[in-house]
Amino acid sequence: MRFGPSDDQAALRDALRGLLAEHAGAARTAYEGGETRLWHRMVHELGLTAVGVPEEYGGTGANFADVAVVQEELGRALAPVPFFSSAVLAARILLESGDAGAWLPAMARGEVVATAALVEAAGDWSFAAPATTARRQADGWVLDGEKHFVTDAVAADVLLVLAAAPEGPTLFAVRDAERVPRDAFDATRPLATVVLRAAPGVPVGSPGGALPVLDRALRAAAVGLAREQAGGTARCLDMAVAHATVREQFGRPIGSFQAVKHLLADVLVDHESAAAAAAYASWAVDHAPAEVPALASVCKSACSEAYAAAAKANVQVHGGIGFTWEHDAHLHLRRAVATRVLLGDPDAHRERIAGLVLDSRRGDPR
């Protein structure tokens, strides 16, 4: 059992880190409304859209640990690319639906970008009663309603939309829908509202079978997002330590002061424990699926809080300059706040863990 990167994964990590270093200003460019060639290079030079996709769909193989390596590096760099939305979230939904053949090969080749439009205006990730509806017509299905907080919707070629059909909650692939960009606290992961007015849709998976598919897919997506947060936490710690060793007060580096040492030591401890949980959960997605329901919530809640604490500490250690627009410390703070609620906040995930524990006890013959 090995949780660290294999030789191939280390090579993938190094190649991606080198590419991201060449686009070090990409995150800030996203806030200025500009675009970079980063996504094009990720697709055509490194072939990252094929990572984690089964070979039968044109990918490198169904190894989620490879996807997690990519996610961690993208989190370190705050890369403004739709990898999570398409290659993690949408791809896992398609794989779990058993209906991946129509879309996943083109996604693996980088020809199609997909995302998932699941959440209603209330922002509830439980999907208890979707307000978006689907009705069957003579020439196929059409959808009506709105989906909110849809990541990378404007850049997506296809949307995987959850709607209430007569058979029950069902997923549909939708190409033609209005996408209304929204101001996002984290501009590196843009949000939009998807407006559906008799929008044509093609069922994905079996009608009425969306909720079990989403349950399985979002667990893996939560692990991938936790790995992204772990990468961001590591970067915040690196930035804070580097500044603490060169910034001087009273003739000595501020890193020599006990208060700063304790602050950064707490961040390190939080990061190591959260990152270890995320690494184990990444392994479990491939090798111990029965453990994933609990592990996904454990690592998502732990990494959310570790990232938020690290981002705040990074701003604090940098002092006055850390609060300025010109410094990148606030960019990580924005990503930490945004990812904390994406796929459910820590409180929601702890409730899921508590539910799993209670369910296991009820089933205990003792």
Instruction: State the pLDDT confidence band at 364, using cuts at 50, 70 and 90.
Output: low
Mean pLDDT, range 56-85, rounded to an integer:
95
Q: What is the pLDDT of residue 39?
A: 96
Domains plus CATH for the chain?
A: 7-112 (1.10.540.10), 115-207 (2.40.110.10), 212-362 (1.20.140.10)
Q: What is the pLDDT of residue 264?
A: 96
Distances (CA, A) of 243 to 174, 318, 325: 47, 7, 17
Q: What is the pLDDT of residue 81?
A: 96
Six token digits for residue 337: 């706040």
User: pTM for this structure?
Assistant: 0.94
172-175-180 Cα angle (round to 5)? 105
On the question of pLDDT at 229 being above 90, the answer is yes
- Alpha-carbon distance of 207 to 144, in angstroms, equals 17
Mean pLDDT, range 137-161, rounded to an integer:
96
- CA 120 to chain centroid, in Å, comes to 19
Instruction: State the pLDDT confidence band at 179, using cuts at 50, 70 and 90.
Output: very high
Residue 193: φ, ψ to 5°: -100, 130
In this predicted model, what pLDDT tens digit does every residue of 16-35 receive, in sequence order?
999 999 999 999 999 988 87
In this predicted model, what pLDDT tens digit does every residue of 267-325 receive, in sequence order?
999 999 999 999 999 999 999 999 999 999 999 999 999 999 999 999 999 998 988 99
Q: How many helices (H) and strands (E) does the chain have?
A: 12, 9
Mean pLDDT, range 149-168, rounded to an integer:
96
Task: Judge contact between 178 and 194, C-beta under 8 A.
Answer: yes
On the question of pLDDT at 255 being above 80, the answer is yes
Instruction: State the pLDDT confidence band at 1, using cuts at 50, 70 and 90.
Output: low
The per-residue pLDDT of the chain, averaged, comes to 94
What residues have CB less than 8 Å from 351, skipping those under 6 apart?
none
Task: Judge contact between 313 and 165, C-beta under 8 A.
Answer: no
Residue that the structure tokens 């590096």 belong to: 73
On the question of pLDDT at 341 being above 50, the answer is yes
Mean pLDDT, range 209-214, rounded to an integer:
95
Among 4-8, 99-103, 321-325, the range scoring the smallest mean pLDDT is: 4-8
Q: What is the pLDDT of residue 365?
A: 45
Task: Judge contact between 279 and 228, C-beta under 8 A.
Answer: no
- Alpha-carbon distance of 220 to 297, in angstroms, equals 10
Looking at the DSSP bridge assignments, the partners of residue 161 are 117, 172
Task: Judge contact between 16 and 26, C-beta under 8 A.
Answer: no
- Alpha-carbon distance of 222 to 231, in angstroms, equals 14
Six token digits for residue 140: 């196929």
Share of the chain above pLDDT 70, in %: 98
Instruction: State the pLDDT confidence band at 2, using cuts at 50, 70 and 90.
Output: low
Residue that the structure tokens 């936790």 belong to: 226
- Using DSSP, state whether 117 is helix, strand or coil: strand
Residue 116: what residue type? A
Q: What is the pLDDT of residue 366?
A: 42
Q: What is the pLDDT of residue 281?
A: 97
